[in-house]
Amino acid sequence: MTARVEGGRTRFTVRSPRAEAVWLCLFGDGGERRIAMTRHGEDWAVDLPGELAGARYGFRAEGPWAPERGLWFDPAKLLVDPHAAELDGPFRHDTALAQFGVDTADLVPKARVLPALPDVPPAPPVFAHGGLVYEVNVRGLTMLHPDVPEGQRGTVAALAHPAVIAHLKKLHVSAVELMPIVAWIDERHLPPLHLANAWGYNPVAPMALDPRLCPGGVAELRAAVAALHAAGIGVILDLVFNHTGESDVLGPVLCLRGLDNEAYAHAPGGNLINDTGTGNTLDFGNAAVRALVLDALRHFVRHGGVDGFRFDLATVMARGPGFDPAAPIFAEIAADPWLADRVLIAEPWDIGPGGYQLGQFPANWLEWNDRFRDDVRRFWRGDCGVGVLATRIAGSADVFGKRCRSVNFLAAHDGFTLADTLAFEHRRNWANGEDNRDGHGENFSWNNGAEGPTGDPAVLARRRAFAKAMLGTLFVSTGTIMLTAGDEFGRSQGGNNNAYAQDNAVTWIDWESRDRDLEDHVAALSAWRAAHRERFTAFPEDGAWLGPDNGEMDAARWEDPATTGVRWRHGEPARSFGFAIDRAGPYAEPWEAAAPSGRASGSQPA
């Protein structure tokens, strides 16, 4: 931590190698108190008497204001501590945050000095490869949950509510993956549209918990993690280290920009590199950036007890500027005693040159596999054959080789929900205020006979059948699987496939009207998979691919467009287990031979 309380004193330290002067700013009933800090190499420090736990503070830095040279010093700007763990309020966008000479102390949240935090006793992650990851928008999951007390809805604490945990256990969830809970600021175009960021992928300081989601700070996170661990459920944090909410050259001065703008990647001419589409890109070739990220990761493990991390646009972490599969950050995480055994999941792409790097991350990392999502959708839509499908459900060896590192998913927060994949051929993003230009243009979706909501029973029946078939495909696939919260019971976003700006009923899960039959179907699939989890952790080599008639597949059958289905059988026929998939059904069902008679426990013959 930048503010350390020990031995009856409090020491503040901040890095700002090119500043000419830096002040610590303490805030209390008497207003703001500025204290000059002393340079120590690239750092500035001040040591104060008294253990100031609970005190609110920020920094101001003086130097040239020359954005054309990457210098954004302005002592009128209150700057958030990059190492802050708790803030006294959320960020809110204001044009003054980007205006030189305009004081922002009334706009910028202040960090709180924390006492020395206790370490969570080290323990192996509560998660095993091959399990089910449940992607959660903390606010969206619980805002409308009828059993969660109203004052607790939308917070990390709500995750520990017995009703929420009961639902997770019903689905045999191995770990929840929490979309960002670190403090973020709205993109500047949202307030004029009366919209707000609902996802949190626009952070400012990498370990400062957002007080809207985690008002109890680190203690609230630690308590929720402990409750989930007691239920056998791990916790993975989705973290954004690829950029910050300070955006492009017109963006606000909030933290790193006003202290050390070299944290951001710059082209030779001095322009900000934008490999993220957000206006800036953190420079992982800079050792100070990596040190800050490592501090954040250690903090969440040591003081929050989390089991691992999903890294948004993770290709940025290995850029220098091109992607390097042996980038320093990978070795530094692997060598850290707090981090080496954590679950590490990459979103293996960004929008920069050479940004798609699926399959190129270290051997102990898992990776989101968008090819699984797209090819499964394409198969059920009728665009590709069983050979492509078999490659995906067998672990995508064409991408990962014999290391089973795929995170298979049908839908994620970004894109259509599963239900909308089967109800919309075209996105419906008008409410985002961008003339329906945002979001994915190609979703490999199909509406089954009617665009959007319908009362036609035949269309609804087809949508339900395809939903069950696609979910079955996910749960029989080799690798780790991920389900986005609500897809187990037909959650819709009304065709919005980029609902980041919809902090409302579009992204809040409607628990009262959920499809309980579909939910029970998913629970049964997950129970079957959980009973055989070890079967899904390695590429299958001890079985046989069969056609719908139980005949062995050969090259001609794999390539025949008329082959609409495929089966996989593990082990001997009389004691086997596997699955059957057929687009003509449509169905995708697991089965298990219950006795030497060869009859399966499900509807498919062994």
Hunting for tokens 């029970």 — which residue is that?
A: 520
Strands, E assignment, 291-392: 308-311, 343-346, 366-368
From the list 461, 479, 481, the residue with the least C-alpha distance to 471 is 481
The Cα 141–Cα 137 span in angstroms is 6
**Beta carbons within 8 Å of 66's beta carbon, 6+ residues apart:** none
- The 3-state DSSP composition of the chain as helix, strand, coil percent (nearest 5) reads 25, 20, 50
State how far Cα 403 lies from the chain centre. Answer: 23
Pairing of strands 343-346, 366-368: parallel
The Cα 271–Cα 253 span in angstroms is 17
Residue type (1 letter), 141: L
332 is catalytic: no
Query: For residues 331 and 287, is the Cβ–Cβ distance under 8 A?
Result: no
Residue type (1 letter), 474: L
Give the CB-side neighbour count of residue 170, counting CA atoms within 13 A. Answer: 15
Active-site option among 312, 375, 487, 589: 312
From the list 157, 165, 147, 148, the residue with the least C-alpha distance to 181 is 157
Query: For residues 197 and 132, is the Cβ–Cβ distance under 8 A?
Result: no
Active-site option among 347, 375, 582, 589: 347
**Residues comprising the chain, all counted:** 606
347 is catalytic: yes
Q: Report the catalytic residues.
A: 312, 347
